[in-house]
Every structure is written in structure tokens, then in C-alpha cells.
Amino acid sequence: MQRTSRRLVVALAGALLAFFPRPGGAFPETASPAESAPTPAEPTPQAGPGKAVWANDYAEARERARSESKVVYVEFSDKQCGNCTRMHALMYPAVNFEMMLLRMVPVVVDRAGTVGAALAKRYGVTESPAVLIVSAGGAMIFRVNGFDSAQEFYFRVNSMLKEWDKINVRMIHEPEFRDDPAQELALGIDLADRFDPEEAIPRFSRAAESPRADGPTRDKALSYLASAQLNARLFPDARATTEKLARVASLADLREQAELFLGSIALAEGDAAAARRSWEAFLRKHPTSPRRKDAESRIAALTPAEPKGKS
């Protein structure tokens, strides 16, 4: 497969945009562990020197990773993936590869299949071959789109695993600081940045509800909580959190951001008319707000315009 760039790209992308996603943006969908992956386009690699046992599908890989205290190694392939064969030839016969897999449960998924497409959307996988390493809970540890250098690949994987180990140690010792809202908020942000809103949500909740949280910490926790709930498609929860933030936030600008975010929730639910009504109500309520241009641009982005009376 011809590509414009063959440079190895490793990303630990943020799942959150400032406090709130912009309207019309794509919100990552969680791939259900119960889904079964279709038969991969490329055959499952044969076990090498380390006899790694490849899972039959992603659901099995996650379950084994949980029971064996490992992480999941996902290779994305498809029928038009010419570089997949090259990657296999460079990596799979190598002892280094088998050594790397000692702490992983490997699986191949078809990027065009139901499960593969959902994973690709959630974690930003854009081409094949691609490799994704995630925790059993779904936090992204490593991602590479395309393949270039085996040496650089191993270096990046080892580096990202060390970063994940630091977060994992904090999770293990979390009972020791669960009453510290600042530390809970920081851990939640790290998990949300790794596309794991489900794990981030309880940390944000504890930080926001802690009697020890000062105003800025509480407000920031509520902001991140609303965004994580939206990313997890927990729309009623996201709305309730946002409405609370609009009432209690210390800063007027943050209260106004929360009001604007209510329209984004409606839009994510597929109700563009409700989103329009929310932003138009904002304009009527705040005639001199510096956020007016933001509200107007959100309304202008709704195409085609929905009838105002439509529910």
C-alpha cells in the first residue's frame, strides 16, 4: 500500500478538549467487550520462540488480559494491507517480539469489521497495519499507525509501557489517596487522556464531591466529568453534571461554558433542533456575553437549519 508518509507515529492523544468538546465533533464510542471480531483478513501469526498464544477475537483477548494481569496487543489488518506482510516478516520471527508479548495477550482484528471499526474510531487508528496496546480496562497505552522501523517500534513500546506502569502503580495505591481530590482529579485526567472515560468517571466524581475540594478543583472535576460522561455516551449523567456546573461554578465564564455544553449534549444525542434551541436561549439570556460568538458559530454550523418548533 502506498502512503504519503512512512514515519512511525506514536500518540497518547487527549480525549478531552479543554473542558468541553466542540459541537459536531466525534465522540469516541466504546467497543462492547461482548462483540465478536470477524475473521481477520490476515491469518493469525504462528507462535514464535516464546510460544505466544494469540486470542481468537478482541473479547477473548480482554478477558484473558484481566485474568492473567496482562495488557492487550491489537494488530489491525485489512484485505488491502500490503505492508502487513512486511511487518510480519520483520517482527514475528524475532525473539524480541516474543519477549515483548510476555506481558500481553495478542490478537488480530480486521479494521473493516464491526469490532475493528469501533476500536479504530475510539482510538484514532487510520490505516493498516496498525498496532494498539490497551489495558484490560480499555486505557490506551500505545498506538502506531503504519509501520516503519522495528527498532524504533520496540523503543516506543517500552517507553510507553513504562509510562503506563507509573499510572498503574497509582491505581494500585489509590486507596491511600482516595480522599485527596487533587490526586483523584489528576488520575482521572490521565485515564481520560488515554481514551478510557469509564475508568476516569469515578475519579472525577470523587474529586468533585469531596468535601476537601476547593472551588477550582471542584469546578475542574465537574468539567472533566461532564466531558467523560459524554464520551461514554451517558447522556443523562452528562446533562445532570453540566446543569450542576452551570449552577455552582465559581467563574461566570465557566457557568456560561456549561450552558453552551448542554447544546453539545443534545447534538451528540442526535437532536439538532434541541441543540439549536439551547444555544438560541443562551443568546437571549446573555446579550453581552463574550461567548456569544461561540454560540452563534455553533448555530451556524447546524446544516441544514432545523425548524425552531421541532422537538
Q: What is the pLDDT of residue 304?
A: 62
Same structural domain, 190 and 280: yes
Q: What is the pLDDT of residue 94?
A: 73
40 is a domain residue: no
User: Which of 113, 146, 168 is the last residue in one of the domains?
Assistant: 168
Residue 226, domain member (yes or no):
yes
Contact (Cβ atoms closer than 8 angstroms) between residue 57 and residue 224: no
What's phi and psi for 178, nearest 5 deg? -60, -25
Domain count, the chain: 2
Which SS3 state, helix, strand or coil, does residue 105 take? strand
* Residues 184 and 273 occupy one common structural domain: yes
Question: Can you give the CATH number for the domain in which 127 is found?
Answer: 3.40.30.10
Q: Are 81 and 64 members of one domain?
A: yes
Q: 163 and 83, same structural domain? A: yes
Share of the chain above pLDDT 70, in %: 79
pLDDT at residue 30 greater than cutoff 70: no
Residue 153 resides in a domain = yes
Query: At 306, is the pLDDT very low, low, confident or very high (cuts 50, 70, 90)?
Result: low
Alpha carbons 279 and 261: distance in angstroms, whole number: 9
149 and 250 together in one domain: no
| Identity at 167, one-letter amino acid code | I
Residues 185 and 277 in one domain: yes
Contact 48/102 with Cβ under 8 angstroms? no
Domain boundary among 168, 192, 225: 168
pTM: 0.77
Domain that holds residue 118: 58-168
Mean of per-residue pLDDT scores for the chain: 83
Same domain, 220 and 239: yes
The tens digit of pLDDT for each residue in 173-185 reads 999 999 999 999 9
* β-bridge partners, 140: 134
Please write the tens of the pLDDT for every residue from 117-174: 999 999 999 988 889 999 999 999 999 887 767 788 888 999 999 999 999 999 999 9
pLDDT digits (tens, 9 = 90+) for 176-213: 999 999 999 999 999 999 999 999 999 999 999 999 99
Residue 209 lies in a domain: yes
Q: 92 lies in a domain?
A: yes
* pLDDT one-digit tens code per residue, 229-270: 999 999 999 999 999 999 999 999 999 999 999 999 999 999
